[in-house]
């Protein structure tokens, strides 16, 4: 494989690591938007899950936020049910259309939330709705490490405070990514041939992740909300740009 590919993979890991350290999610979204140009979707998914899990471990140690088990449990239980389905769909799914649909959702929804001065809070649905969102997050996690996308949007709509949202997303992502990686390994989606790339991703994202976690401490509630929605919007644009040539073809 050309050395330029390794450089691009390292760059994607570094940028994604910083973003994840800062926001608590989005490693897969950011990394895949860069990696999609140079490596195949299955390899990119395996690298995204591996890098995102490593980043969450670093963040869990660096940015410690308490969490309520009762609040987190529905998300996790739903996510555990969704991961095997996402991993099953991965080899059969047209990733270009998947990225186009996900990108369109993010590009349309997140700016509307960002521009809204008085964001309505969703109070209905209770734990059942939380579990359904967790299920969606688990499916997206099985498809490539996108575990935090739907839960992050949902927590924003729930109106959770910055540290509460960070605690939910960070712990949800950590548990979901660990299970996703185990499913990938057990199903053969992660192979020994991927090891050289994994050894590029892990050191490349380590320091940027730590820097991101330190930057998080200085964010206000409003700043954190703008950051999350802005990152989701940019990630959606990147997904659309990477998927457009194949979809239009």
14 contacts: CB under 8 Å, gap ≥ 6: 204, 205, 208
Q: How much is the pLDDT for 118?
A: 62
pLDDT above 70 (res 63): no
Q: How much is the pLDDT for 52?
A: 87
Residue 227 CA to residue 221 CA, distance in Å, equals: 10
The values of phi and psi at residue 132, to 5°, are -65, -40
Extents of the domains making up the chain = 3-248
- The residue-averaged pLDDT of 80-104 equals 81
> Tokens standing for 222?
């409003």
CA 90 to chain centre: 16
> Tokens standing for 149?
């996308």
Residue 32 CA to residue 99 CA, distance in Å, equals: 10
Residue 135 CA to residue 39 CA, distance in Å, equals: 28
- In this predicted model, what pLDDT tens digit does every residue of 201-226 receive, in sequence order? 999 999 999 888 888 877 777 787 77
Q: Which residue has the tokens 């050289």?
A: 196
Q: How much is the pLDDT for 202?
A: 93
Alpha carbons within 13 angstroms on the beta-carbon side of residue 110 total 23
pLDDT above 80 (res 109): no
- In this predicted model, what pLDDT tens digit does every residue of 118-131 receive, in sequence order? 666 777 888 899 99
- CA of 152: how far to CAs of 33, 36, 39, 167, 188, in Å? 19, 23, 27, 11, 29
- The residue-averaged pLDDT of 59-84 equals 81
The answer to whether residues 21 and 207 touch, using CB atoms and an 8 Å cutoff, is: no
pLDDT above 80 (res 5): yes
Indicate the pLDDT class of residue 66, thresholds 50, 70 and 90.
Answer: low
Indicate the pLDDT class of residue 144, thresholds 50, 70 and 90.
Answer: low
Q: With a threshold of 0.85, does the pTM exceed it?
A: no
**First-residue to last-residue Cα distance in the chain:** 26
Indicate the pLDDT class of residue 117, thresholds 50, 70 and 90.
Answer: low
> Would you tell me how many other CB atoms lie within 10 Å of the CB of residue 129?
16
- In this predicted model, what pLDDT tens digit does every residue of 176-201 receive, in sequence order? 888 888 888 888 878 888 888 999 99
Residue 123 CA to residue 101 CA, distance in Å, equals: 27
């Amino acid at each position: 494989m050309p050395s330029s590919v390794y450089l691009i993979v390292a760059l994607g890991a570094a940028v994604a690591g910083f973003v994840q350290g800062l926001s608590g999610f989005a490693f897969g979204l950011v990394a895949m938007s860069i990696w999609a140009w140079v490596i195949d979707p299955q390899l990119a998914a395996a690298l995204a899950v591996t890098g995102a899990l490593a980043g969450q471990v670093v963040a869990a140690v660096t940015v410690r936020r308490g969490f309520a088990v009762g609040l987190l449990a529905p998300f996790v239980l739903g996510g555990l049910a969704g991961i095997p389905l996402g991993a099953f769909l991965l080899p059969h799914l047209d990733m270009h259309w998947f990225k186009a649909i996900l990108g369109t959702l993010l590009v349309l929804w997140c700016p509307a939330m960002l521009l809204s001065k008085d964001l309505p809070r969703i109070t209905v649905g209770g734990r059942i709705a939380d579990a359904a969102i967790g299920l969606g997050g688990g499916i997206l996690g099985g498809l490539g490490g996108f575990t935090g996308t739907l839960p992050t949007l949902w927590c924003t709509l729930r109106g959770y405070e910055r540290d509460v949202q960070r605690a939910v997303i960070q712990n949800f992502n950590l548990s979901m990514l660990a299970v996703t990686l185990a499913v990938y390994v057990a199903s053969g989606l992660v192979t020994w041939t991927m090891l050289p790339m994994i050894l590029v991703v892990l050191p490349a994202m380590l320091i940027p992740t730590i820097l991101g976690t330190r930057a998080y401490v200085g964010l206000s509630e409003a700043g954190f909300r703008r950051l999350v929605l802005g990152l989701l919007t940019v990630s959606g644009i990147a997904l659309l740009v990477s998927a457009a040539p194949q979809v239009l073809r």
